Amino acid sequence: MNNTLYNGFKLLDFLAVSAELVSVKELAEHFQLPNSHICRLLKTLVETGYVEQDPATRKYRISLKILNLAHSRLQSERLPELARPYIRKLAEKLDATVFVTRTCKGRSLIIATEYPDLALQNSTTVTGALHSPTSSACGQICAAYAEPEVQTALLDETDWSAPGDFQNRREAFEKELVLIRNRGYALRDPACHHGAIGVPLFDGECRCYGALGVMLTAAPQSSDELFQSVIESTLNCGKLISFALGAPFEGYPYFTNSAARRKKK
């Protein structure tokens, strides 16, 4: 692995999620690298235009040029176009925010969102938001349906001491991933019939391509039956989008489990 290139991308990742201007000293302390090494990385990133330096404070932040990379990549992504009619109808039907995500090394990255009428945008459901694998329904879906080696790497790099749904409970999370694949969907905060629902999306080879998520409003659904109908509507929408991607109707959402069973025979 090219350590310089690796550190440069890690630095970009850090600047992308930082809301504040960051100094060389702060970056060096965070990455446990010499100031001189951080300066060389920043010099290259500034010259290429992906990082900018504030002339007053001499601190750094990621530049808007990074949006050009994201836009160019999304232009070649077919899922938003295929999914848009379905998620628009689902958002209207459920009066809820609906979004689709793509898998990214077992993680969940939002690439399209539909909001119900009069709804305010939520920073956690905008294009480009990366879900926590442990604290989001779609994040759990992408982790649950990831290939075994990808899932193991994802769990190994997760900070289990950080606050979240499964803080210091890796074993419990691994059991939850098995349950998610057995039932075909993930839930967050379902006790009061509100929260988030995630279901898998599959491609023509029945591999998990991403996830469909529904963010319900704070107003609880009035009954168990109504809440179950919301889950069923989300699963049906996931099935239609998967079919548009080339996956067959039959077997959804258990394609990966079925393939694993066939390999064992």
pLDDT tens profile 105-128: 899 999 999 998 766 666 667 778
Confidence band for 82, pLDDT divided at 50, 70 and 90: very high
**How far is the C-alpha of 238 from the C-alpha of 83, rounded, in Å?**
9
Q: Tell me the C-alpha to C-alpha distance, in Å, between residue 173 and each of 165, 178, 216.
A: 9, 9, 23
160-181: average pLDDT: 93
User: Per-domain residue ranges for the chain?
Assistant: 3-68, 77-264
| Residue showing tokens 């009066």 | 95
127-132: average pLDDT: 83
Please give the residue that has the higher pLDDT: either 190 or 116: 116
Cis peptide before 253 (omega within 30 of 0): yes
Long-range contacts formed by 184-190: CB under 8 A, 24+ apart: 184/235, 184/252, 184/253, 184/254, 185/137, 185/141, 185/231, 185/234, 185/235, 185/253, 186/137, 186/138, 186/140, 186/141, 186/144, 187/137, 187/231, 188/135, 188/136, 188/137, 188/140, 190/227
Structural fold of domain 77-264: Beta-Lactamase (3.30.450)
In words, the CATH class of domain 3-68 is mainly alpha
80-107: average pLDDT: 93
Query: What is the per-residue DSSP string for 154-166?
Result: HHHHS-TTSSSTT
pLDDT above 50 (res 258): no
Confidence band for 165, pLDDT divided at 50, 70 and 90: confident
**What would the pLDDT profile of 3-47 be if each residue is shown by its tens digit?**
888 889 889 988 987 778 999 999 999 999 999 999 999 999 999
What is the structure's pLDDT at 54?
93
Nearest alpha carbon to residue 137 among 195, 209, 50: 195
pLDDT above 70 (res 137): yes
What is the structure's pLDDT at 256?
67
Mean pLDDT (the chain) is 87
38: which 2 tokens? 């951080």
200-225: average pLDDT: 83
What is the structure's pLDDT at 1?
52
Confidence band for 219, pLDDT divided at 50, 70 and 90: low
**How far is the C-alpha of 6 from the C-alpha of 120, rounded, in Å?**
37
pTM of the predicted model over 0.85: no
Provide, rounded to the nearest whole percent, the portion of the chain with pLDDT above 70: 88
